[in-house]
Amino acid sequence: MNPTVSIVALIPARAGSKRLHGKNVRPLAGHPLIAYTIAAARESGVFAAVIASTDSPVTADIARHYGAEVPFLRPADLAADLSPDIDWVRHALEQLRQEGRTYSCFSILRPTSPFRSGATIRRAWDSFGSRHDVDSLRAVELCRQHPGKMWRLHGDRIVPLLDGGPVNPPWHSMAYQALPEVFIQNASLEIAWTRVPLEEGTIAGTRILPFFTQGYEGLDLNDTRDWMYAEHLVSSGAADLPAPAGPPYVPAADALTGSS
């Protein structure tokens, strides 16, 4: 690792979720979900700071309990259902800069990917940390539902989503194994140079390095079915969670109102 290149972990945990209420602080295997992302970030050893961005005082208290910093709360207008990532990322970096804290890079680590480990993060940083020829790195995996077999409505008919493929046979009539490889992003990990959001107004830029997640590293929990699957993985021993520091969080009152 280049010691002159510093990186900050940004963990988004806004309050409010429509698909899975309270998902960021919902208990999984004895700890709030966000605890596992904080644990992975700290375990990785690559970050100069681990910062949670939330509009919720309760979530902020939980994040601090597990070792993250919450030096400021996110404004409500940057925590709506449709608020783009660029807004809260820029807010966090600018707030830190006002405190005299500047970083070469930032990483977005979303709490909804609890099986991403410290080793996962180190592997990604090893790929990105010296790459000044790219803007960002983004976690991806092979798609399970291939876009070559997807359709869109055209009047009362359906037409292939993708144009330009072979005619005989067309992609939608091919076996999955015969289709060109297509990767889908997952929510587990992003890294970018700080100049990208502050100067270019985007979190990714245009020169994006792929990071291929392995196993359950990229599993994203967004609905009840995802959650049940995660519980099964943990209870069956099929996947391990990072080990949070300290005992489980105990709220002062029944205040776990939820985050997204």
pLDDT per residue as tens, the chain (260 positions): 556 789 999 999 988 766 677 899 999 999 999 999 999 999 999 999 999 999 999 999 999 999 999 999 999 899 888 889 999 999 999 999 999 999 999 999 999 999 999 999 999 999 999 999 999 999 999 999 999 999 999 999 999 999 888 999 999 999 999 999 999 999 999 999 999 999 999 999 999 999 999 999 999 999 999 999 999 999 999 999 999 998 999 887 554 444 44
Residue range 6-47, pLDDT digits in tens: 999 999 998 876 667 789 999 999 999 999 999 999 999 999
pLDDT value for 83:
85
Q: Name the nearest CA neighbour of 51 among 6, 86, 96.
A: 96
Looking at residue 253, its pLDDT comes to 57
pLDDT at 19 (0 to 100):
67
pLDDT of residue 20: 75
What confidence score (pLDDT) does residue 80 get?
82
Residue with tokens 């992975």: 40
Cα 152 off chain centre by: 29
Spatial contact of 111 and 34, defined as CB atoms under 8 Å apart:
yes
Domain boundaries, the chain: 7-143+185-236, 148-181
CATH number attached to the domain at 7-143+185-236: 3.90.550.10
Q: Phi-psi region for residue 29, left (φ > 0), alpha (ψ -120 to 50) or beta?
A: left
**Rounded distance, CA 90 to CA 53, Å?**
11
pTM higher than the cut 0.95: no
Distances from the Cα of 28 to the Cα of 16, 20, 57, 113, angstroms: 18, 13, 21, 12
Strands (E), the chain: 7-12, 27-28, 31-32, 49-53, 105-108, 136-142, 151-154, 157-160, 183-193, 208-212
Q: What is the rounded distance in angstroms from the CA atom of residue 62 to the CA atom of residue 65? A: 5
